[in-house]
Amino acid sequence: MITILHVVTSLTRAGAESQLLNIVRNTSSDWLSHTVCYLHPPDDLAADFRNSGIETICLNLPRRRPWLFAPRRLIPLLRARRPDFIQTRLLDSDLSARFSTLLGPSIPIITTLHMPTYDAETIRAAGWPVYKMAVLKRLDRWTARATRPLFIAISESVKRSAVRNLGLSPAAVRVIYNSIDQKRLQCDPEEPRRIRREAGIPAGAFVYLTVGRLSPEKGQSVLLRAFKEVAAALPDAYLVFVGEGPQAAAHETLATELGTRGRVRFLGNRPDVGACLEMADAFVFPSLFEGWGGAPIEAMFKGLPCIVTRIEPNLETFVDGETGLFVTPGSESELASAMMKLYRDPDLRRRLGASARAAAVERFDSRQGMRAWTQFYRELAEMGSAGFRDATR
């Protein structure tokens, strides 16, 4: 048996964390054991891990620069558990594990890359301080050179970004696409109608849905402004947000200022995303950057017609006019036009939705993803820690 200690920043209900749950839940076996360690709350998904038989450990570190404090808590855990490998997700976790293995037990690290973090477009869209990101980039590169992790990227665009910014060889980064467990999206047939009733949406209304963290990089303010034009033209159109984040209050204020608050619903974080998708007529994803668009792929599985921004990960996933409609990131007019186009063309909606579902099943079903991860973990088991270090030189 090999044991893997997964280190992740938190267990919030978001993309990287949900993917981790999918992986550990579906690859645990008589030869592979997983433990999940998270740096600090929130821990929305902790019960899901425990219900799947996966041990979770919270280090209760400060949220600000937790990697500075991580060795004091993580090193004793590594010495007590002696995992064969550490697998990390997101920068705070990457740095925490690397510092801990430099100062404590030398354990091989797998770094899972989720975002094009250091691209100029990403930094600008997220509103991150340029100087701070330059410092973090240097720290990321230095600790990577010192610990020599094996890198897994969740998309080709994330791989290209890592090669550009971290000075990695393309051969040093493997791509394993994220995948979706369709069982997680199943719901009772009555659930979508119940959600509509509870949200105060008329039964015959047309619902545009977006799912994601409410934060600047997701482009939701662009969507709200585009919806002002849509709402004026389409009196039975509603816009629904699923997710929480730092801009929740600002988005509600903006909807009020735009005069559309009566037809915009904010449902917060939901465990029943599958039912929310079935409640909708179209899916809109206005994100300004992503590592891999999990939310629109979930919509694809439900056969929803999707409008997505023309960013690299979406270009890997969708074909414009065949499985979705592309719009320029940040363009309110293009987004409004595409939304009204879907409303007015039921045949287009059906065609896009059917093609999108077929593409999602073929490329992103959990069975394909878990086969790839199982094969990867078997390779780790066969090479052992000594072979791992030889492979990362």
- pLDDT-derived band at 330, boundaries 50, 70, 90: very high
Under DSSP, the state recorded for 357 is H
Handedness of CA 109, 151, 391, 149 (dihedral sign): negative
Q: Which of 23-27, 217-221, 290-294, 362-366 has the lowest mean pLDDT?
A: 290-294
Whole-angstrom distance, CA of residue 140 vs CA of residue 161: 13
Mean of the pLDDT values across residues 129-157? 95
269-314 residue pLDDT tens: 888 999 999 999 999 999 998 888 889 999 999 999 999 999 988 9
The stretches of 292-365 forming alpha helices (DSSP H) are 294-301, 312-317, 332-344, 346-364
CB 187 within 8 A of CB 272: yes
202-237 residue pLDDT tens: 989 999 999 999 999 999 999 999 999 999 999 999
Whole-angstrom distance, CA of residue 151 vs CA of residue 239: 39
For residue 278, the surrounding DSSP H or E stretch is helix 273-279
pLDDT greater than 80 at residue 389: no
CB 266 within 8 A of CB 248: yes
Mean pLDDT (the chain) is 94
Say what the pLDDT of residue 174 is: 95
pLDDT greater than 70 at residue 392: no
pTM beyond 0.75: yes
Say what the pLDDT of residue 125 is: 82
SS3 (DSSP) at 181 = coil
Say what the pLDDT of residue 126 is: 84
SS3 (DSSP) at 100 = helix
Percent of the chain residues past pLDDT 90, beyond the cut: 86
The candidate with the shortest Cα–Cα distance to 300, out of 255, 244, 249, 362, is 362
Mean of the pLDDT values across residues 232-248? 96
308 backbone dihedrals φ, ψ, rounded to 5°: -135, 160
pLDDT greater than 80 at residue 393: no
SS3 (DSSP) at 388 = helix
pLDDT greater than 90 at residue 383: no
Say what the pLDDT of residue 292 is: 82
Mean of the pLDDT values across residues 83-96? 97
- pLDDT-derived band at 321, boundaries 50, 70, 90: very high
Whole-angstrom distance, CA of residue 268 vs CA of residue 358: 29
Residues 6+ away with beta carbon under 8 Å from 27: 34, 370, 373, 374, 377
Say what the pLDDT of residue 386 is: 65
Token pair in block for residue 283: 């899916």
Strand partners of residue 2: 32
Under DSSP, the state recorded for 330 is T
SS3 (DSSP) at 13 = coil
pLDDT greater than 90 at residue 388: no
Token pair in block for residue 351: 């065609």
The candidate with the shortest Cα–Cα distance to 212, out of 13, 9, 369, 8, is 13
Q: Which of 96-100, 224-228, 369-373 has the lowest mean pLDDT?
A: 369-373
The candidate with the shortest Cα–Cα distance to 358, out of 312, 302, 310, is 302
